[in-house]
Amino acid sequence: MAAWVIALLAGGASVLSFAPFGLFPLAFLSLALLAWLLGRARRTREGLALGFGWGFGSFVGGVSWLYVALNHYGGMAAPLAALAIGLFCAYLALYPALAGAVFVRLRPQGAVARAALFAGLWVLAEWLRGVVFTGFPWLAIGYSQTPPSPLAGYLPLIGVYGVGGLVAMVAGLLAFATWSRPRAAIPAAGSALALLAAGAGFQGTHWTSPVGAPLSVALIQTNIEQGLKWQPEQFLALLRTNAELVRGAAAELLVLPESTLPTLADNLPEGYLDALGGLAADNGGDLVFGIFHRDEQDRIYNSALSVGRSATQFYAKHHLVPFGEYSPPLFGWFYGLVDIPMADQTRGAPDQPPMELGGQRIALNICYEDLFGAEIIRSLPQATMMLNLSNLAWYGDSLAQPQHLQIARVRAIETGRPMLRSTNTGMTAVVQPDGSVSGVLPEFEQGVLHAEVRGYQGMTPFARWGDRPALALAGAILAFVMLRSRSGRPRGVEAR
């Protein structure tokens, strides 16, 4: 029981390695504690329990802000909302639990071999969490390693899952060599330092290069309270607020956030879209904004439209949020417990061309979509920059806003492209290809972020190969250890 509590607390502490805290070394220590406990476990079910405990602590500490959406804005009763979030965190914890069980079942002899197996299983578990049932990769441990972490240098090569594997590798070396076998401390520390030093060296590599003239952008943060957004009596006031913000922002590219007009496009007052386009053109550019769109078959899309000097262009969100934007099969009953507007949406096409605006080719993604690096790179090499429209007002004043900005930083580094963000309540920002944030608006304040942004061309290794190299290496490690295990070699016994 004591070991399980330690694993639970270690998982909870891992949240401090992510934004806004940014204590990235804690990711190594947190996983090292889990690895050390797994190294001492005697039975597979102990590994399952330890991995589950670590995961449950991490997810309850890191994504419990989902409760705000269900209870405060969705109207679900507090006990039911708490139960739903608890069950969801328990589901997410099954992935580190699986990694823990397999590790205890297969653990080989030798500290380095154990560290490699731990790292490989961690990569596979996090990748599975990011794809099964459409995936929820939030809090993948690699997201904690944005600059100044030296491991950030690996992001353009092997992506967030690969970097998560390196975190687990360093943690395994700490646990299995330095802590459990003091005589192996020096070579283990040397190996860990070599990984960190190589990552720091890669940070000086420029995989992409600027293209075209700088683009002037105005990223608008509307700061409209979520509880007011869908009230019919507020509708005309919201339309006026959006128009006034566009009128006061001069740039080649003006951006309003996700669902900034909380209705279907064909329900807008006659001439409103033309008026927005005229305001953008008068300010010297084009406006991109979030709205819901209905096609001829009555299918509804969470979409973005552009109006202004250029021809109107359209993007429809492809990766939808389960239970928020569509109902998974057999879960229609869920919507009897919660009130979420526009919850019956249709996916857009997976391969949509970038918008051509202001001499740049801009790849759109809406809110949650930027969690999926393998999907983001579909727009490359055509896209020269990326644009995310979000509305995190659903989650109140929580960790969701800074965590989401950190995810955007990882996407920028992986692709070697700037990431522009226009959000309702935060964090509206400009992220450069090296992951640095060159401008950001305060959360929960209305404002406009003006910036000059360069487009970039070229391909990072991750943009070319995606997650395949990291998954191939992780799979090879697992296969090798399984073959050794089947050949009858004894599994090692943890040194005391």
Residue with tokens 């040194």: 495
pLDDT digits (tens, 9 = 90+) for 208-228: 999 999 999 999 999 998 878
User: Per 3-state DSSP, what percentage of the chain is helix, strand, and coil (rounded to 5)?
Assistant: 55, 15, 30
pTM metric for this prediction: 0.93
Catalytic residue list contains 258: yes
Cβ contacts of 336 within 8 Å, gap of 6 or more: none
Catalytic residue list contains 317: yes
Contact 18, 48 (CB under 8 A): no
The Cα–Cα gap between 385 and 364 comes to 9
How far lies 405's CA from each of 18, 393, 447, in Å? 11, 14, 17
Among 46, 126, 252, 258, the one annotated catalytic:
258
Residue 274 has pLDDT above 50, yes or no: yes
Among 126, 252, 367, 414, the one annotated catalytic:
367
DSSP string for 146-177? -TTSGGGGGHHHHHHHHHHHHHHHHHHHIIII
End-to-end Cα, the chain, rounded Å: 20
* Mean pLDDT value across residues 82-111: 95
Single out the residue of 121, 112, 198, 188 nearest to residue 157, CA to CA: 198
pLDDT digits (tens, 9 = 90+) for 284-308: 899 999 999 999 898 999 999 999 9
* Mean pLDDT value across residues 136-165: 98
In whole numbers, what is the pLDDT of the chain averaged over residues?
Answer: 92
Which pairs with CB-CB distance under 8 Å and at least 24 residues apart come from 147-150? 147/203, 147/409, 147/434, 147/435, 147/436, 148/24, 149/24, 149/199, 150/196, 150/197, 150/199, 150/200, 150/203
Contact 391, 259 (CB under 8 A): yes
Residue 494 has pLDDT above 60, yes or no: no
pLDDT tier at 442 (50, 70, 90 boundaries)? Answer: very high
Strands 437-440 and 429-431: antiparallel
The Cα–Cα gap between 436 and 454 comes to 14
Among 317, 325, 369, 414, the one annotated catalytic:
317
Domains of the chain: 2-205+465-486 (no CATH), 210-459 (3.60.110.10)
Q: How many CB atoms lie within 10 A of CB 43?
A: 11
Give me the helix-helix angle, 185-202 and 155-173, nearest 10°: 160
pLDDT digits (tens, 9 = 90+) for 409-420: 999 999 999 999
Structure tokens at 368: 């949650």
Contact 440, 427 (CB under 8 A): yes
Q: Is the dihedral of CA 263, 264, 269, 273 positive or negative?
A: positive
pLDDT tier at 42 (50, 70, 90 boundaries)? Answer: very high
Single out the residue of 408, 410, 403 nearest to residue 155, CA to CA: 410
Cα 93 to chain centroid distance, Å, stands at 17
The Cα–Cα gap between 116 and 482 comes to 13
pLDDT tier at 492 (50, 70, 90 boundaries)? Answer: very low
